[in-house]
Structure 1
Amino acid sequence: MFPLIQRCCFHTPFKLQKLTAPRLLLYGKNKTTCSSLGLQLQRDVCPLSRSPHLNVASIYATKLQGLHTSLPFFKKKTLKESETKASGVLKRSMESLKDSPKPALYLSLGGLIPFVSIPLSMAIQGTYYPELAFAQIMYGAVTVSFLGGMRWGFALPENSPAKPDWLNLGNSTIPPLFACQALLFKDVTQGAVMLVMALGIALHYDISLLPTYPRWFKVLRVVGTLVMVFSLLATAALKAISEIEQSNSRNEWRSTK
């Protein structure tokens, strides 16, 4: 009876059954012995006679389990890791500024004084001066033109890694064109927006298209661009606030009449 059950359940080959039959006769009819023998036969026979469908199913189940397992590089970074990385980048950037030549550093920081002083003085006095705002737009247009022409000086030397091709020399003319358009606007806000766009384009050229610039120069360019952009936007915001106050005062004056 047991060989028949073994053949049906475990799909044991006929030759293997003949080899295991004498072992059954030696152990007798004890139930405990038969059960232990059955477990032993199951361990010995199952790896040989297991159906291939079961192996495929187990492999498929393992793959499905792997799909629901999150890999380490897909896990989100913790807040501490992101803060540590940001602080490390900021620290390296500040250290690279120390490597910059003193004339380049001081002249660049000194060139930002007209951008910052105009909106700061108007905010302190609480009065918007259109002449000062237009002077800031003019100074910004000159600065943008200088940043565009700087690429010519970098690409023209013989040993320069940047070639004097259409890409380098042609892109350097785009910021001055934006600066000229900013001066043609009668509205200071439109001119400030045009200069912000020109500063962004010039920064993109210096950071992405010319990676051979030294690191201290790239950091200096980023810091200077941010200061100029926020100064221009501050002037535009002060202009909008003054216009709102003037309209409110006119409405009050009309209501009193």
Structure 2
Amino acid sequence: MFPLVQRCCFPTPFKLQKLTGPRLLLYGKNKATCSSLGLRLQRDVCLLSRSPSLNPASVYATKLQAFHTSLPFFKKKTPEESEAKDSGILQRSMKSLKDSRKPALYLSLAGLIPFVSVPLSMAIQGTYYPELAFAQITYGAVTVSFLGGMRWGFALPEDSPAKPDWLNLANSTVPPLLAWQALLFKDATHGAVMLVMALGIALHYDISLLPTYPRWFKVLRTVGTVVIALSLLATAALKAVSEMQLSNSGNKWQNTK
């Protein structure tokens, strides 16, 4: 077995012992050629082994790099990009508002008149009327109750995508309860703030939490909520200005005495 291994692995020494004369010179030339080829192959193998592409460490690093995930780099948006995005959202919203059903659009706009007329009339006359403010809060409480009960009408039909479960029906009673609490406040400012909170909760239910309505109705609900909230806050601001003017005039009257 060992001689066979020697003949297979180390054939050169045994052949050199038997070769003499010209055959020895010919074999020497062949050996020089083979040795030069062997040196070239050895040099090429060394260069390839030193190459980064075949280095085990580099291969391992490449594998790790393939599975490596870094944190995303958030590029700060330029004012032009933000304005373009806002204008695109505004255009889509206006298009959805134009696609809304005409009865719903006209009735919703007509329902905003009592809210807008109260602070507008008081600002024109320059006088705060507590009766008008209370009437506005009462109308706001009725509107919030209507928005809360609207979910019941949407969830009760059998073919409705919203189920008449605890989530839909119980959450629909939250805005009316807040509206009732707004009527119990003696101060109109507190009542206006409570109604703004109720409007925000009702809008959150209709837009994101519960099964959604059509896009045009969501846009209509958002616009109506913003107008109502601004009108209520405007009435509260007029009340604060009126009280400030009364206190200043009272101080002046006492100083003249």
By the TM > 0.5 criterion, same fold? yes
Letter in 1 for 2:145: S
**Map 1:222-241 → 2, pairs under 5 A:** 222-241=222-241
Letter in 2 for 1:241: V
**Map 1:1-257 → 2, pairs under 5 A:** 45-49=46-50, 56=57, 74-257=74-257
Shift of 1:153: 0.4
Letter in 2 for 1:47: L
Pick the structure with greater CA Rg. Answer: 2
**Percent identical:** 71
Equivalent-residue separation in structure 1 for 2:158 and 2:92 (angstroms)? 32
Deviations 1:47-88 (A, max 9, x none): 325799x86489869x89xx9x996x6322322222111111
Question: Given the two structures, how large is their TM-score scaled by the length of structure 2?
Answer: 0.76
Q: How many residues align?
A: 224
Deviations 1:127-178 (A, max 9, x none): 1111101110000000000000101100011100101111111111111110
3-state secondary structure, aligned to 2:151:
helix
3-state secondary structure, aligned to 1:74:
coil
Letter in 2 for 1:77: K
Equivalent-residue separation in structure 2 for 1:206 and 1:228 (angstroms)? 16
Equivalent-residue separation in structure 2 for 1:43 and 1:84 (angstroms)? 59
Question: Given the two structures, how large is their TM-score scaled by the length of structure 1?
Answer: 0.76
Equivalent-residue separation in structure 2 for 1:233 and 1:137 (angstroms)? 11
3-state secondary structure, aligned to 1:212:
coil
Deviations 1:77-108 (A, max 9, x none): 32222211111111011011111111100000
Shift of 1:212: 3.4
In structure 1, list runs of 5 or more residues that go unmatched. 1-18, 24-36
Q: 1:165 to 1:45 in 2, by over 3 A?
A: same
